[in-house]
Amino acid sequence: MSDLQPTRFDGQAADFDRRVGLTDDVCQAAAATVVTLAGARAGDRVLEIGAGTGLIGAWFLDQPVRYAGLDVSRGMLEVFRRRLAGASCPLVQADATVASWPLADRSVRAVFGSRVIHLLPLATVIGEVRRIGAPGGVSCLLGWVERRPESVKARMSREMRRRLHERGFPARQSGSRRFVEACVAEGAEPLARVEVARWPAGHSPRQSIERWRAKEGLGGLVLPPGVQDEVLDELADWGRATFGDPDQVQETEETYVIEGVRWTTC
């Protein structure tokens, strides 16, 4: 039994899948792409960091690999276990921001994270991936949803981060390119970027505001009382001034992308 305290992600678990908005087809294709990119064979272990509710992770059970999921949120993992409907795989509540992930040395062929690994401390991830990497090599793969920079969702997000920065809140450290470059500097080989799936999407300014109001925190930050509502009220005004009707849906396109690196020796 984990002794980790409840996290702010626990309260997001029930609504998480709807907010992420990935279809089963995209998630199934993502799992298959990870196995292919990593060159994983039957019996190889794949570790997912930030496994969450199993939106992608559950599809690894259709692959000929051994899957393990790690997440800091007990609430997320409880949803994952219900998704499995009797199937069994190791799900572990643990904090991936600290060293000593609960995996044995030289036991993992691929480490995967959807929208999470590049947000973790670089030194911790690199050190742990190399420690648990199986003989013959280990891959570290990142997946994320890529949005067109001119889309409503992308522009609202940029404006939200700008307003947080104006108030003195540090920008969340992110960026898959930064992560890949850091791994290459430590001896990894970059892997080809793969566009797993592309789909039409529509979004309105009000949808961004409502989604953020339902969360605890903004931009990966837990804010002092009142600040989140203040920022979102300003963003709602900015959205009306910029886009006009806050309920007007702008059609765009989104892409699920996987990119990463491989260490042939650990």
The string of pLDDT tens digits covering residues 70-93 is: 999 999 999 999 999 888 899 999
d(CA 132, CA 179): 18
Terminal CA-to-CA distance of the chain, rounded, Å? 31
| Res. 1 pLDDT band, cuts 50 70 90 | very low
Angstrom distances, CA of residue 131 to CA of 94, 100, 101, 109, 217: 17, 9, 10, 11, 33
Structural domain contains residue 161: no
Q: What is the mean pLDDT of residues 105-125?
A: 93
Structural domain contains residue 58: yes
The whole domain housing 180 covers 10-148+172-202+253-263
Structural domain contains residue 159: no
| pLDDT digit string, tens, across residues 32-44 | 999 999 999 999 9
pLDDT at 18: 72
**84: helix, coil or strand?**
helix
Structural domain contains residue 207: no
pLDDT at 150: 96
pLDDT at 247: 97
Structural domain contains residue 209: no
CATH number at residue 84: 3.40.50.150
Cβ pair 68, 47 in contact under 8 A: yes
| pLDDT digit string, tens, across residues 204-255 | 999 999 999 988 888 878 899 999 999 999 999 999 999 999 999 999 999 9
User: What is the full DSSP assignment across 93-117?
Assistant: E--TTSS--SS-TT-BSEEEEES-G
Q: What is the mean pLDDT of residues 137-150?
A: 96
In terms of Cα–Cα distance, which of 188, 139, 178 is closest to 34? 139
**Is the pLDDT at 265 greater than 90, yes or no?**
no
**238: helix, coil or strand?**
helix
**171: helix, coil or strand?**
coil
Structural domain contains residue 3: no
Bridge partners of residue 251, in order along the sequence: 202
Query: What mean pLDDT is reported for the chain?
Result: 91
Structural domain contains residue 196: yes
| Res. 173 pLDDT band, cuts 50 70 90 | low
The H or E element that residue 74 is part of is helix 74-84
Structural domain contains residue 18: yes
Bridge partners of residue 46, in order along the sequence: 67, 110
d(CA 211, CA 214): 5
Kindly report the pTM of this predicted structure: 0.88
**Is the pLDDT at 29 greater than 60, yes or no?**
yes
Task: Name the domain count of the chain.
Answer: 1
Helices and strands (DSSP H and E) totals, the chain: 8, 8
Angstrom distances, CA of residue 233 to CA of 151, 225, 245: 20, 14, 16
